């Protein structure tokens, strides 16, 4: 199964505030200034033409009575975990796909419902609704890609919110859909498929794989065989990947943070403030996970996506470290070497090539031990009292973003 929560953020707000009943609401950036982007719109708002990812001003123009609610990311995460726990009471094979979607393998517990998968889905749907107030839709199939397709294209349009997509009946369902409905095919890829004469998912599924590879080589070059096979397998409903509960728990290859700035930063000193704040966040996470990193990467990007400016460069340090000052020193060297002087709107810092922080090379010529003791003390304070209990002085300047960022999760308000 692929279980999807309908209009998740908006549904959480409606379920917890009776005053919103019967009113069109959206969850968006700043209700007071009526600005930002729509993160979620309830079904009533969607009936008025409001769509996710549009500007709040455009949404209000379509629906003047629209209620705009400030996001509460920490609450959405809590409810998402609660829903996952409900699914885990039916099977231990639950894999989060996003904050509002989970893959669920019920093969081993289906016999408890007499082998009736729709009955099982209805039971799960009712329990989630009664315990959280959230309405979920279920796409059901023999593998993950078909379950996702079943949910997005059929369950969300069903009155029951449940749809079983059978592999031997794809010709009557999936293959009739336009190619724009193919999972992982965006607007640009849809355009290219149509230029190849592929109008429906069935058209793509019917093409011999070798022929599709030839077509894509002509369009994209010799390295397109993997993508050709990926799209062909999706169209034919072929997916061997299992539902893996611990898929997000494996050790990371790198840890990074990036930030979109509220305005263009045009001086080196301003950019260095943000680089320092991001470096501190990255190193803090590395310390919490027991990692030291040896490869530091820094990226900057301008605001004009049509004519992109900026850079992304990395450097291997002499020794692994998770000390903020040491990592920041190398990050600044990358910044000074590669920044071209153009205004910057997005900055990112990443640390990788990890080793265990319990084992490291001692040196007679650095003060690592003193810095590490200081970092442990500040980490303990922040864990107990929050990230803003102690901050660097530059974060209090106009360029600093640490205070504002501390009140957000993933760029949205907690």
- CATH number of the domain at 13, please: 3.40.1170.60
Same domain, 61 and 185: no
| Domain range for 231 | 174-235
Question: Could you tell me if residue 83 is inside a domain?
Answer: no
Element (H, E) at 355: strand 344-356
Question: Could you tell me if residue 152 is inside a domain?
Answer: no
Question: Could you tell me if residue 240 is inside a domain?
Answer: no
Structure tokens that stand for 216 in this block: 């894509």
Same domain, 301 and 401: yes
Question: Could you tell me if residue 92 is inside a domain?
Answer: no
Same domain, 267 and 231: no
Same domain, 216 and 281: no
Question: Could you tell me if residue 123 is inside a domain?
Answer: no
- 3-state secondary structure string, 181-192? HCCCCCHHHHHH
DSSP secondary structure letter of residue 126:
H
pLDDT digits (tens, 9 = 90+) for 193-245: 999 999 999 999 999 999 999 999 998 887 889 999 999 999 999 999 999 99
Whether residue 4 is annotated as binding a ligand: the answer is: yes
Is the Cβ–Cβ distance between 234 and 322 less than 8 Å?
no
Same domain, 272 and 397: yes
Q: What is the pLDDT along the chain (414 residues), one digit of tens a residue?
A: 999 999 999 999 999 999 999 999 999 876 665 657 899 999 999 999 999 989 898 999 999 999 999 899 889 999 999 999 999 999 999 999 999 999 999 999 999 999 999 999 999 999 999 999 999 999 999 999 999 999 999 999 999 999 999 999 999 999 999 999 999 999 999 999 999 999 999 999 999 999 999 999 998 887 889 999 999 999 999 999 999 997 766 678 899 999 888 899 999 999 999 999 999 999 999 999 999 999 999 999 998 867 778 999 999 998 899 999 999 999 999 999 999 999 999 999 999 999 888 776 666 666 777 888 888 899 899 888 888 888 899 988 988 888 877 766 666 666
Question: Could you tell me if residue 142 is inside a domain?
Answer: no
Question: Could you tell me if residue 363 is inside a domain?
Answer: yes
CATH number, domain containing residue 181: 1.10.150.20
User: Can you give the pLDDT at residue 338?
Assistant: 95
Whether residue 100 is annotated as binding a ligand: the answer is: yes
Question: Could you tell me if residue 150 is inside a domain?
Answer: no
Q: How many CA atoms within 13 Å lie on the side-chain side of 39? A: 26
User: Can you give the pLDDT at residue 368?
Assistant: 75
User: Can you give the pLDDT at residue 32?
Assistant: 63
User: Can you give the pLDDT at residue 364?
Assistant: 62
Q: How far apart are CA 80 and CA 101, in angstroms?
A: 9
Q: Is 101 a catalytic residue?
A: yes
Picking from 292, 359, 355, the residue whose alpha carbon sits closest to that of residue 321 is 292
CA 290 vs. chain centroid, Å, equals 24
Same domain, 231 and 292: no
- Final residue in a domain of this structure, among 53, 72, 91: 72
Q: What is the pTM of this model?
A: 0.74
Same domain, 300 and 375: yes
Q: Which of 47, 54, 58, 101 is catalytic?
A: 101
- Final residue in a domain of this structure, among 55, 72, 89: 72
Domain count, the chain: 3
Same domain, 324 and 373: yes
Same domain, 265 and 212: no
Same domain, 262 and 386: yes
Q: How far apart are CA 411 and CA 168, in angstroms?
A: 43
Same domain, 197 and 342: no
User: Can you give the pLDDT at residue 358?
Assistant: 77
pLDDT digits (tens, 9 = 90+) for 309-338: 899 999 999 889 999 999 999 999 999 999
User: Can you give the pLDDT at residue 260?
Assistant: 87
- Final residue in a domain of this structure, among 203, 235, 267: 235
Among the residues of 7-139, which ranges form H helices?
Answer: 8-16, 43-47, 56-62, 73-88, 117-132
User: Can you give the pLDDT at residue 97?
Assistant: 94
Same domain, 269 and 401: yes
């Amino acid at each position: 199964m692929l279980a999807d929560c309908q209009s998740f953020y908006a549904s959480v707000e409606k379920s917890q505030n009776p005053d919103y009943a019967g009113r069109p609401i959206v969850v968006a950036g700043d209700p007071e200034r009526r600005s930002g982007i729509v993160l979620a719109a309830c079904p009533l708002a969607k009936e008025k033409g409001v769509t996710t990812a549009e500007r709040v001003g455009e949404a209000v123009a379509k629906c003047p009575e629209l209620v705009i609610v400030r996001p509460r990311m920490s609450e959405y995460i809590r409810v998402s975990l609660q829903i996952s726990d409900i699914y885990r009471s039916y099977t231990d094979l639950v894999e989060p796909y996003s904050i509002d979607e989970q893959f669920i393998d019920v093969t081993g517990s289906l016999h408890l419902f007499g082998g009736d998968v729709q009955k099982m889905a209805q039971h799960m749907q009712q329990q989630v609704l009664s315990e959280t107030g959230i309405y979920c839709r279920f796409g059901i199939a023999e593998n993950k890609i078909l379950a996702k397709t079943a949910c997005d294209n059929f369950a969300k349009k069903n009155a029951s919110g449940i749809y079983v997509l059978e592999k031997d009946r794809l010709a009557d369902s999936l293959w009739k859909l336009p190619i724009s409905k193919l999972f992982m095919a965006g607007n640009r890829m849809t355009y290219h498929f149509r230029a190849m004469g592929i109008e429906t998912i069935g058209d793509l599924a019917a093409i011999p794989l070798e022929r599709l590879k030839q077509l894509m080589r002509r369009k994209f070059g010799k390295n397109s065989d993997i993508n050709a096979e990926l799209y062909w397998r999706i169209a034919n409903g072929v997916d061997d990947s299992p539902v893996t509960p611990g898929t997000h728990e494996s050790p990371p290859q790198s840890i990074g943070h990036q930030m979109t700035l509220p305005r263009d930063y045009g001086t080196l000193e301003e950019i260095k403030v943000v680089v320092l704040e991001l470096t501190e966040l990255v190193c803090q996470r590395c310390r919490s996970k027991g990692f030291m990193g040896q490869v530091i990467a820094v990226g900057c990007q301008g605001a004009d996506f049509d004519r992109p400016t900026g850079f992304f460069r990395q450097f291997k340090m002499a020794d692994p470290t998770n000390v903020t000052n040491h990592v920041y020193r190398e990050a600044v060297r990358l910044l000074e070497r590669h920044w071209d002087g153009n205004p910057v709107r997005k900055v990112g810092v990443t640390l990788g090539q990890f080793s265990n922080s319990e084992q490291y090379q001692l040196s007679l010529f650095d003060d690592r031990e003193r810095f590490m003791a200081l970092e442990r003390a500040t980490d303990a304070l922040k864990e107990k009292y929050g990230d803003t209990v102690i901050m660097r002085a530059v974060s209090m300047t106009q360029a600093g973003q640490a205070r504002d960022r501390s009140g957000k999760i993933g760029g949205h308000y907690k």
